[in-house]
Amino acid sequence: MTEVLSDSERRKIDDGDDGSFYDQPRYVQHVDDGFRERLTDLYATELQPGDRVLDLMGSWVSHLPDFELAVVGHGLNREELAANERYDEWFVRNLNEDQSLPFEDGSFDAVVCAVSVQYLQYPGRVFAELARVLRPDGVVVVSFSNRMFFQKAVAAWLNREMEGRADLIRSYLDATGAFGPVRVVHETPQSDPFYAVVARRL
């Protein structure tokens, strides 16, 4: 598989152990009300009641719409994942060490990743796994703003402005060869800038 990022692009300011960095739970909101409301609205248009959803790199809250979903959570902090009331099940895995996902092909109708994609050092491998576990016409929604743990974001992310970051995510999706047209949703209200990259599995 061709790597999307070079060795220099995947470097981080803090190259210490990710597990240790996320060892303590952070019960805080990482984006403001306006961003969270817009994300929930977007999810409501892209998801269907009864969908099986993988919340990748999640935490104690998922911003999902109120209708019924079967949600599998993933992250690095057990306490946060256990506190998420939307998760039917969850698992811990450091995707910078192991990019595989413990699911069969076509297991999910949707994969969502909120304000966390900037931490992936091997996004090509991870997005190939997303393509594998999604069913045909399954949707991926990757959202981001200008907030992050800068010390843990990869250089390729830090070295780009917001539009360039959307293009970077597009390159992750395109590298799989498994997704249709990529759509970028962008709004800058009186709140945190809202960006989401949306694509469906071929």
pLDDT value for 142 = 98
pLDDT digits (tens, 9 = 90+) for 49-58: 999 999 999 9
State residue 98 phi and psi, 5-degree precision: -140, 110
Residue with tokens 């997704």, as numbered in its chain: 179
Q: What is the mean pLDDT of residues 166-171?
A: 98
Decide if pLDDT at 174 tops 80.
Answer: yes
- 194-200/134-144 β-pairing: antiparallel
Which is higher by pLDDT, 149 or 81?
81
Q: Using alpha carbons, select from 143, 186, 182 the residue that is nearest to residue 163.
A: 186
State residue 137 phi and psi, 5-degree precision: 70, 5
**Confidence band of 190 (pLDDT split at 50, 70, 90):** low
Decide if pLDDT at 133 tops 90.
Answer: yes
- Please state the pTM of the whole predicted model: 0.95
pLDDT value for 154 = 97
Tell me how far the alpha carbon of residue 189 is from its chain's centroid.
Answer: 22
> What percent of the chain is predicted at pLDDT more than 70?
96
pLDDT value for 1 = 59
pLDDT digits (tens, 9 = 90+) for 6-41: 999 999 999 888 877 777 777 567 788 999 999 999
State residue 113 phi and psi, 5-degree precision: -145, 110
> What percent of the chain is predicted at pLDDT more than 90?
85
DSSP string, the chain: ---SS-TTTT-BS--S-HHHHT-S---S-SS-HHHHHHHHHHHHHH--TT-EEEETT--S-----SS--EEEEEES-HHHHHH-TT-SEEEE--TTT----SS-TT-EEEEEEES-GGG-S-HHHHHHHHHHHEEEEEEEEEEE-S-S-GGGSBHHHHTS-HHHHHHHHHHHHHHHT-B---EEEEE--SSS-EEEEEEEB-
Q: What is the mean pLDDT of residues 86-106?
A: 97
Mean of pLDDT over the chain: 94
Task: Map out the domains of the chain with their CATH numbers.
Answer: 18-200 (3.40.50.150)
Decide if pLDDT at 195 tops 80.
Answer: yes
